[in-house]
Structures are given as C-alpha cells and as structure tokens.
Chain A
Amino acid sequence: MSLGLIVVLLISPFAGFLINGLFGKWLKGKEKLSGWISALAVFVSFACSIIAFTSVRGGGGMSGDEGILYEWIKGESFAFNIGFHVDALTTVMLLVITGVGFIIHVYSIGYMHGDSGYTRYFAYLNLFVFAMLILVLGNNYLMMFVGWEGVGLCSYLLIGFWYEKQSATDAGKKAFIVNRIGDFGFLLGMFTLFAAFGSLDFTTIFDSADAGNFQQIFGASTLVIATLLLFVGAVGKSAQIPLYVWLPDAMEGPTPVSALIHAATMVTAGVYMIARSAVLYELAETGEVVAWIGVLTAFFAATIALAQNDIKRILAYSTVSQLGYMFVGVGVGAYASGIFHLVTHAFFKGLMFLTAGSVMHAMANELDMRKMGGLRAKMPITHWTFLVGAMAIAGVPFLSGFWSKDEILHSAWAISPVIYGIGLITAFLTAFYMFRLIFVTFYGESRVESGVASHLHESPPVMWVPLAILAIPSALIGLLLGWGGHNSWFHHFTEHVFPKAHGEASGNMLVFMGISSVVGLAGIAFAWIRYRERVPAAEPTHALHKLVANKYYIDEVYNAVIVQPIKNGSHYLLWRILDTGIIDGIVNGVAAAIRLIGGTLRRLQTGLVQAYIVSMVVGIVLFLAYYLFVR
C-alpha cells in the first residue's frame, strides 16, 4: 500500500470541501453539480478505501515509519508526525465512513433540494468526512485528537445548520459545550500518556506499555488514570452517561446529518478510540468500567425511547442505547464484536434515519408520530426499508443486528451475568420501542392532517435508491461477516489488531442466540399487541410514564445543578464582583490615579515662561551643587 493512496483518500473530501466552500457562490444556481461534486469526492475516498481494504486483506498494511507523511512538530526529545496507521480496524472504519458517507451524500442531494444553504451544507459534510478520516487514519493520539476536534466542529456547524432557528443554534452550542467536557478529558489523557511514554505514537505506546517500559507518573495506576481520562473523551463524543444529553438535541440538524454524524460515524469515534487503545485498556483493566457505563447507558436510553413521540428523538435515544452496547463490547474485551456492532449499526441506524428523513420530507417536516399513521400505503419503499432497519436493530434472527448484538451479549456473559441481564432487557425494550414506532407511524388509521395528506408521496429516486441500497447491507451484512460468531470472518479479519479477549466466551452460542431471538421477537409481539390498533393519544399517564417521557428530567437536573450555579456564579461572583468590582476597579482606579496625578501636574504647566525658567534654574543650581560639593 502506498502513501499516495492514503493521501488521495484523505485529500479528496477536503478538495470537495474547498470547492463547495470557496466557490459556493458560483455553484448557487447549480445545486445538482454542487451535490454531485461532493458525493464524487467521497466516492473517490470510498474507492481508495476498497483498495486499502483489499491490500490489508492480502496481508498489507501501514504502520510505524512507512506511514509518516512528514514531521509536524519536532522538539529536542520528541517528534509528532503527520503519519498514518492502516490495519484491519482502520479499513473497516474507512469503509463504513466513506461507504455510508457516500450513500448519505447522494441522499442529501435530494433531501436538501431547494435549501438556501445547499453548498454550505455539502462543504460542511465533506469537511466532516475529511476530519473523520484523519481521526481513524492517524498513527498517533495527536492526529486522532485533530480529527476528534474536527468532527466536533463539523457536528456543531451542522447541528446549527439552520441557524435562524433558535432551537438549532442552542442544540449546536449544547453539543459543543458538552463535547468540550469530554475533549478536556481526552486532552488530559493524552498529556498523561505523553508524560508517561514521551511519545503519542500508537506503536511506540503500545509496545512500551506491553513491555512495562514507561514512566510511572502516577505510580501503579498510571495506565488506569490515562485510560479513564481517554474514556471521558469517549463518553462525551459517543454520548454516554452522563454526557449523552447533547445527542437527542442534535436532531435539530438536517436528517442526513443525524444519519451520518450522529448515528453512523462520529459518535462511534469513542468506540473506535477504545478499540484502538485496546492494549492499554487490557493492561489497565479498566474495561469493566467502560462496560458498566455502556450497559447502563444502553438501558437508560432505551427506557427514555419508550415514551417519546418524536421519530428522530426515538432514533437518537436508540443510538445512545446502541452505542452503549458497543461500549459493552469493547469493555468486556470483545473488541471485534464491539466494532462489528459499530459496522452493522452504521448501516441500519443510518438507514432508519434516512427513512425518517424520507417521512419528514413527505410530511412537511412533521416529526410527531401521533400525527402520522397508515403511511404504509402512501410510502411503500420507505416503509419496507424502515422495517428492515427496525428488524435488524430489534435482533430478528439472521438480520445484521442479531449477529453483532448477540456476540456482545455472549461475551458479556463471561465477564458479568448482570451486564448480560441488563443487556438482554435492553434488547427487549429496543425491539418494543422500534416496533411501537413502526406500528404508530406506518400502520393503523391515518391521523395525518388534511392539508399535508393531500400531497403525501413517496420520495424521489435520488432519495429512495440510497434507502434501498442501505437496506441490503442492513439485512445481510451480519450474516455475511458474522456467521459463526466468534469464529466468523470478521473476527479473523481483525484478530491481529486486538489483544486476545481475556475471558473466552463460555456456554453454547446457540443457546444465547435462541434466548436473544426469543427476547427480540417478544418485544415485537408486545409492541404489536399494544400498538397495532391503538390510538397513541391515549397513552397511560401514570407517574412512571411521565418520568420517562420527560427523560427522567435529566436536562432539568443538569440545568439546576450545573448550568444555573455556573450562570449565577458567573453573573454575581465573576461579573458583578470580580469583573466589574475588582478588575474594572483596578483598571478604573489606575486611570483615576493617573488623572489625579495629571490634574495636579498640569498646574505646573502655567504657560508662564518664567515659571519654566525658575524650575530650570533650580535644576541648574541643584546640579551644580551636587557636582561641586557632593561628588
């Protein structure tokens, strides 16, 4: 594999960004051109990714010095390079990012039709792909951090894409600020690693860590602290407890953005990071923390999703929940399974977001599913593709989600049956809320408002073709890559990347598969019983439901516990007392003192020549006296 290939792969979306970003004015009248340039840029990356993938499959790869493009920062005892690391994990990520990214770009051409910020949208989208590629291609933590921040920026820009809307800009700011907390952890983690290893290169760090050859800056718990700090970054970026609050709000952005950034790629960066740092997590034995946070998030988010009525919010909480599964996977040491779930999730969740976009497109941006119902007849393709996605996530046997989720749960059993149990309950909830969504939206009586109903239509080909294409891997990729569980093709492909999982998965896999299938189907059946014919306006109103529907009041709690104290502290302590009182006081005091001194001194400036001469003569007399009698 040549360095040139990687550079082309990386530069192509950046070129798309530059073209759309710099020449957007000239492309204004030519929407289609702008969108296709952007999509083509990602397609070039996709093609390069396939080449890289075949190369890695044939035993190729890129690591260490051969991947170094140039020296970025050079110091006495350290050097940071712009360098690339390509192995099985990287290529899997590349294929997901560019493959799903390309399909979503094409879909966006139809979805964003007529938007005034059309070229801006595609510029951001290309920039995002570029940043995401840096994140997964980098051969050191610093490059990863650059990509990490880059995707954060693009996420912010795209959430607040419709900046005329107050809620959109608020959501953008919320995402940015919450992510900042995580990024701070990531930074501290990086500092810790650098202090311990004197380098940020993956290979250097992992080799030294394996050999125990590093500075014990925090004693025996150096690696524990480093990995936990890095995990704080992952918690922010991948929306886990307690920093998940930004992701549901991020749905203010255009729907394809939700599909690409907030379901398929960026939010999985944390999972990727942990999988990449697998060696460290194994040595530090902090995986269990990751797994617990993951499973709690999965369960917690799933319960919230039960009582939401906004399609995209249900999908958002579902994403948070599924990310939790991925963290369970990488936490219990089943790195391949975690990444495998990342891949399948990217397809089926991307698919579901795009179908949700298709529904919005037809329903004049309506998101409340209580105002839908019976859409199946008017939008057959959307319905079928969504059904495929929902079945995949629900764990219907032989669809992709079934394989990946089952592998994770199976591996979790070996570590902790409790994690397995919560995961299983979550799987049931997942099936239930997804099919609640389907039944309420696509089946039953139509509750669509008459004005909207008249032009209810299936989306144009540029939108439904991507849906159809995504539906295929959503259904089949699990079967193709995951057949055979822990002996599957995917595990073999990635086996050189990850350290051996510590507890060998025990028990008969078929039993686990059977249990998962039953649970998933039970969830679907339960949803069918409850929502097949029911008007959801008549939801139960007891306290528990209210609590869940209001997302456990977490936003309100955060607001009361964190935001308000900081606001008050800033307003009263920092602004009123510190800023206007002390700092302004000092500044104004200095000014007043100078004015006072100046006011006094200006009296000396009498305008009388003789007064000046007097002072001059006094000076001469004193000087002479000093010269004659003192010296």
Chain B
Amino acid sequence: MNAEQILFIVFGGISLVGAVSVISFRHPIYSALALIVTFFAQAGLFVLLGAHFVAAAQVIVYAGAIMVLFLFVIMLLNLGTLSASGSIVGKLKGVAIVLGLLLAAEGIYIAVNALNETAVASAQPTAAPVTTYQIGELLFSKYLLPFEVTSLILLAALIGVIVLVKRDGPDTD
C-alpha cells in the first residue's frame, strides 16, 4: 500500500463521511460545516489526481465563496430555530433510501465497467500533473466562446439576484 492509496482512502473517507453528515445533521449550520469539510477533502483528491488548478479553485470558489454565501443566508434567516424539528420528510424516507441504493448500485456498476470501454481502456494514463498554463491555453483558444458565455451567466445571475431580493416600492432606506 503506497502513499497515494493511503491518501485516497483518507480523503475519500473524509468526503464520504462529510457528505453523509450534510444530509444527517438537523441543524443547517452543522450541515454547512460538514459540506466545507467534504469540499476540502475533495480538493485533496484533486491534488492526488494532479489537478492543482482545480484543487485551488475548489478551495477558493466552493469552500470560500459559495459556502460563505450559504452560511450568510442561514444566519440572515436565522433558520436554526425554525427548522430544528422534523428535518426529514418521513413518508419519503424509505423510498428515497431504496432509490438511492439502486442508483448507487448502478453508478458502481458503471464505474467498474468503465475500463471495459474501448476508448477508456486503450488510453495511456499520465502521471504528470496538468498545469494552469495548459488549462488557460484551452480556455482562451478552443473554449473561448463558452468562457465568454460563462461571464454572461454570472452577469445574468448578478442582475437576477438583485431583482429577486430588491424591496418593492419607493420607501427604500
């Protein structure tokens, strides 16, 4: 058992435990914190896979920006007390778990059989990490248009959010 395997088990285990914690904690604050843990563990997995840029982005965008937003809203609405009780929709619980298990089984089946796909099987895995330079080159050449569209999506989201939460009427303070 080499270092990579050990690290994979560690990060993978943390992220799984984190994920299960997210859906298990009654209080949203705890869920949010568990989610941050999961994100960090995943960033570690990305490093293991040699994707340093993605790992950095994961920490900055997810664990940083998005999670701050979650926490901010939870605290703004003061949800802890409101939804402390009955956090699970009882009737659906059994159905949901059965469905989830089926889905997981199918996912694992796909994963195990992934190497049988010719395109995947014939590939030559490289250990060399992908550099930021390579990603940037792709982004600004082959994927330039989607990249620019992304900025439009962000702009639209920006405007949408302002419109959604803006108070109606002239009595703004």
Which residues does A use to contact B, with CB under 8 Å?
Answer: 608, 610-611, 614, 617-618, 620-621, 624-625, 628
Contacts and interface: CB of A to CB of B under 8 A. Distances in A.
A621 B96 contact: no
Contacts of A624: 103, 106
A332 B109 CA distance: 100
A620 B99 CA distance: 10
A162 B6 CA distance: 108
Nearest to B102: A621
B99 A618 contact: yes
Given A620-B103, A621-B102, A621-B103, A614 B95 contact: yes
Contacts of A610: 89, 92
A467 B149 CA distance: 96
B120 to A, nearest CB: 16
Q: Which of B96, B106, B110 gathers most chain A CB within 10 Å? A: B106
Secondary structure call for the B interface: helix
Given A610-B89, A610-B92, A614-B92, A628 B99 contact: no
B139 to A, nearest CB: 31
B100 to A, nearest CB: 8
Contacts of A617: 99, 103
A611 B109 CA distance: 27
B96 A628 contact: no
Contacts of B92: 610-611, 614
Contacts, number: 23
Which 8 A-B pairs rank lowest in CB-CB distance, beginning with the nearest?
A624-B106, A621-B102, A617-B99, A621-B103, A610-B92, A610-B89, A614-B95, A621-B99
Contacts of B109: 628
Interface of B: 89, 92, 95-96, 99, 102-103, 106, 109-110
B92 to A, nearest CB: 6
23 contacts: A608-B89, A610-B89, A610-B92, A611-B92, A614-B92, A614-B95, A614-B96, A614-B99, A617-B99, A617-B103, A618-B99, A620-B103, A621-B99, A621-B102, A621-B103, A621-B106, A624-B103, A624-B106, A625-B102, A625-B106, A628-B106, A628-B109, A628-B110
Contacts of B110: 628
A624 B107 CA distance: 9
Given A611-B92, A621-B102, 11 more contacts: A608-B89, A610-B92, A614-B92, A617-B99, A617-B103, A618-B99, A621-B103, A621-B106, A624-B103, A625-B106, A628-B106
A624 B103 CA distance: 9
Contacts of A621: 99, 102-103, 106
A368 B103 CA distance: 99
Contacts of B99: 614, 617-618, 621
Nearest to A617: B99
A535 to B, nearest CB: 98
B113 to A, nearest CB: 8
A382 B102 CA distance: 108
A611 to B, nearest CB: 8
A621 B98 CA distance: 11
B15 to A, nearest CB: 22
Nearest to A611: B92
Contacts of A614: 92, 95-96, 99
A4 B110 CA distance: 89
A96 B84 CA distance: 105
A500 B111 CA distance: 104
A243 to B, nearest CB: 78
Nearest to B92: A610
Contacts of B106: 621, 624-625, 628
A88 to B, nearest CB: 89
Contacts of A628: 106, 109-110
Nearest to B107: A624
A43 B115 CA distance: 102
Contacts of B95: 614
A59 B172 CA distance: 103
B95 to A, nearest CB: 6
B160 to A, nearest CB: 20
Nearest to A625: B106
Contacts of A611: 92
Contacts of B96: 614
Nearest to B103: A621
Contacts of A608: 89
